[in-house]
Structure 1
């Protein structure tokens, strides 16, 4: 008889974790936060179209500021898109540290339950610049983990985001991307398509990602 957490006994598929690290500071109020909410809903809708991906892709959401884990890792069929609201500052460094710690904890849970997993993705989306001072150390953690192939880190700038700072956070081989307008829907459909491609392959196999048609890569 299988032993482990019920979620893994019922669904022993390899997991494909993605952590959304979302800026919900006051500057995101109005249309930006509305479009972000619509984009997250589109992500769930699109992943659910793929039976294998819906069993493999796990999503967690951390918002800032303040930094909050508002959705712990869950497969798409158990994920209810939240209704995000905008307020507060932009503690990007603290948020990244929280995301990296949560990801490590989740990987330990996978291992303890005999679940294999694809390289996790962290998707940072912000329209500003850090209001905390710990972001350089957090950026160093990101680059070290990326170099050791522990994760794939993506940084996306919205509207007036400080792309120069995002370039210091993002790994050199994956520079930040400036979102075209507020086209969050295209971004999240791209993310869904990418997750479906990854989860359809064996773990460790390099996957060609779709073109980034929703933004401009900045260097």
Structure 2
């Protein structure tokens, strides 16, 4: 048997469901400063995210979710379709190694894109969604370079979104993000509203054709002004 004949057997999830994929990587700050109500509200928001995604039959089959937390850096979920995705219960501890989380997360995303190509499955421009209430406690400049190169107007390797919870260093997040996609400050602890917006946006992408431009709904109800 040739190596090409063996490829489908290596990716049973992609063979069983050959729909094009819309990958979404969640990079979530679980450092100690998130302890208490912030981490509780984040957990509730993730449960809402699951409920919203599974209410859309197209999103269930096309949207893939992966989750990496930092404080310390851990891959909690590898990419899986929304119908399989089960939000883990997050707890807060440690510092904020944001640079390492971004770097490892982008490596994981590149590996998944390579898998799509090997399996012959199409995919949409991936989303990377970072949520933090602090500032990096590690070297972050190389990670910022990768974000700006990948989310630039030419490569369009992924779309990188950053959301700052109360206490986040918005200036540092601005340095990490692409100038065309500046960070957004969260209004209070409106995680539920944020994840409803994220689910609605991903569902809109999943109903389009890969490569097609999709207008995103405005981040009303969860973003703070200024």
User: What TM-score bracket applies, with the shorter chain setting the length?
Assistant: over 0.9
Gap runs ≥5 in structure 2: none
The correspondence for 1:54, drawn from 52, 60, 85, is: 60
Secondary structure of the residue aligned to 2:217 is coil
Q: Structure 1 residues 201, 217: CA separation in 2 closer, same or farther (over 3 Å shift)?
A: farther
- Alpha-carbon offset, residue 59 of structure 1: 0.2
Q: Indicate the residue corresponding to 2:147 in structure 1.
A: 142
CA RMSD of aligned residues (A): 1.2
The correspondence for 2:27, drawn from 9, 21, 25, is: 21
**TM-score in terms of structure 2 length:** 0.94
Distance in 1 separating the partners of 2:224 and 2:81: 30
The answer to whether the Cα contact below 8 Å between 1:175 and 1:217 also exists between their aligned partners in 2 is no
Q: Indicate the residue corresponding to 2:96 in structure 1.
A: 90
Q: Indicate the residue corresponding to 2:179 in structure 1.
A: 172
Q: Which moved more, 1:185-194 or 1:208-217?
A: 208-217
**TM-score in terms of structure 1 length:** 0.97
Distance in 1 separating the partners of 2:48 and 2:24: 15
Secondary structure of the residue aligned to 2:8 is coil
Q: Indicate the residue corresponding to 1:153 in structure 2.
A: 160
Q: Indicate the residue corresponding to 1:205 in structure 2.
A: 212
Q: Structure 1 residues 156, 205: CA separation in 2 closer, same or farther (over 3 Å shift)?
A: same
Secondary structure of the residue aligned to 2:38 is helix
Moved over 2 A (4+): 1-4
Gap runs ≥5 in structure 1: none
CA offsets per residue over residues 97-132 of structure 1, 9 Å max, x none? 011100000001111101100000000000001100
